[in-house]
A and B are shown apart, each in its own frame.
Chain A
């Protein structure tokens, strides 16, 4: 079964809008939560990551919000741009572990 659930499966946003992608996890041993961005024909690339000791992390237009009690985390893309159009994957792992468990992916389209 999927240990990390991601939604929505696809998202269409207008340029300048806010894109929000949500993930939920089950394994309470997870303590590292990265987001990966994937463009067509390319492998995923690390975008931003958070650990559960903070509730929010911001890097430029990208923000991760983390709710440990709800076992949920989300990616917010502010002022979305057409160049942000890509597939986004949330993931989770134990920092002492070897496995990175991915969500199902969200295909984001930002219309000009």
Chain B
């Protein structure tokens, strides 16, 4: 089954404790991205990757890091989480950049930073 898998689905942690949210896709997609969803703001892009070892900032990259060492994986790293990063996070992938390619989303990771 074609899917984007995120882990963990839920996480409660404390300020300053490094955490990683993993994302994996099994569709051999080149393009992957991370979004955060906040009430009244919709989804905002954090980082994206057009292929292995190619990443770039989205609209709200502050406080986040990403890496793309393998095509299928695109982890999101919060090195020193703060309460304003409490949000619902989605990873997405598409076959390639642009050309109106539909993005396939994971089921989300709800992070609470205390």
**A interface, CB within 8 angstroms of B:** 2, 4, 6, 9, 32, 34, 41-46, 49, 51, 89, 93-105
Contact = CB atoms under 8 A, between A and B. Distances in A.
Contacts of A46: 102-103
A51 B40 contact: no
Contacts of B50: 98
A44 B105 contact: yes
Given A43-B4, A43-B90, A95 B40 contact: no
Most chain B beta-carbon contacts within 10 A, residue among A49, A94, A95 = A95
B9 to A, nearest CB: 9
Interface residues of B, number: 27
Contact of B107 (A34, A42, A93, A103): A42
A22 to B, nearest CB: 14
Given A43-B4, A43-B92, A43-B107, A98 B97 contact: yes
B98 A98 contact: yes
Given A98-B31, A98-B56, A42 B108 contact: yes
B98 A94 contact: yes
Interface in B44-67: 44-45, 48, 50, 56, 58-59
A95 B99 contact: yes
A6 B59 CA distance: 18
18 contacts: A4-B42, A6-B42, A32-B100, A43-B4, A43-B105, A43-B107, A43-B108, A45-B105, A49-B100, A49-B102, A94-B98, A97-B98, A98-B98, A99-B58, A100-B33, A103-B42, A104-B41, A105-B42
Contacts of B35: 102
A34 B102 CA distance: 8
B94 to A, nearest CB: 9
Nearest to A6: B42
B81 interface: no
Given A41-B108, A97-B98, 20 more contacts: A34-B100, A34-B102, A42-B108, A43-B105, A43-B107, A43-B108, A44-B105, A45-B105, A46-B103, A49-B102, A51-B100, A89-B42, A93-B98, A95-B98, A99-B45, A100-B33, A101-B45, A102-B44, A103-B42, A104-B42
